[in-house]
């Protein structure tokens, strides 16, 4: 029996590698200027003609990963995009890349981690 595959974007962040499900990832774009929003953990940037909230997860890497986990688009910065493809599921909720188990980066959970951010983000 063939192993189940998951479509994913593999990223590297300061804490290590993770994957974002393809159904949440919308675009990978060059990192534009990110403006700080006073009193908010989000920055904002003009991406493909739209102003998006930007969650900064580390030092700028030159690319943004635009995600849409709950119907609202948000861009993630500070991630290094390593690859995009179909990867075997490891049985513990992750995927296997070159024999290494890679955990999921739950974008919706990141958006809810900060109380001030959670109030700005629509929950399902």
Q: Is residue 48 within 8 Å of residue 29, measured between CB atoms?
A: yes
The confidence score (pLDDT) of residue 3 equals: 73
- What percentage of the chain reaches a pLDDT higher than 70? 90
Task: Give the pLDDT band of residue 119 (cuts 50, 70, 90).
Answer: very low
Q: What is the pLDDT of residue 118?
A: 45
Q: Which pLDDT belongs to residue 116?
A: 47
Is the distance from CB of 45 to CB of 39 less than 8 angstroms? no
pLDDT tens, position by position, 88-111: 998 888 999 998 999 999 988 887
- Reported in sequence order, the residue ranges of 31-109 that DSSP labels E, i.e. its strands, are 35-36, 42-47, 50-56, 63-67, 74-77, 80-88, 95-97, 100-102
Bridge partners, residue 27, by sequence: 66
Domain count within the chain? 1
> How much is the pLDDT for 2?
59
**Alpha-carbon radius of gyration of the chain:** 15
Q: How confident is the model at residue 62 (pLDDT cuts 50, 70, 90)?
A: very high
Write the pLDDT tens digit of every residue in 8-40. 999 998 889 999 999 999 999 999 999 988 887
Domain that holds residue 37: 5-120
The C-alpha atoms of residue 79 and residue 12 are separated, in whole angstroms, by 6
């Amino acid at each position: 029996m063939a192993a189940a595959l998951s479509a994913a974007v593999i990223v590297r962040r300061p804490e290590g590698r993770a994957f974002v499900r393809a159904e949440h990832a919308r675009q990978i774009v060059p990192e534009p200027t990110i403006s700080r929003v006073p009193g908010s953990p989000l920055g904002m940037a003009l991406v493909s003609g739209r102003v998006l909230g930007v969650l900064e997860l580390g030092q700028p890497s030159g690319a943004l990963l635009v995600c849409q986990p709950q119907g609202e688009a948000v861009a993630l910065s500070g991630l290094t995009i390593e690859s995009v493809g179909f990867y075997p599921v490891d049985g513990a909720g992750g995927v296997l890349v070159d024999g290494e188990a890679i955990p999921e980066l739950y974008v919706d959970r990141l958006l809810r981690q900060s109380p001030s951010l959670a109030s700005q983000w629509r929950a399902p």
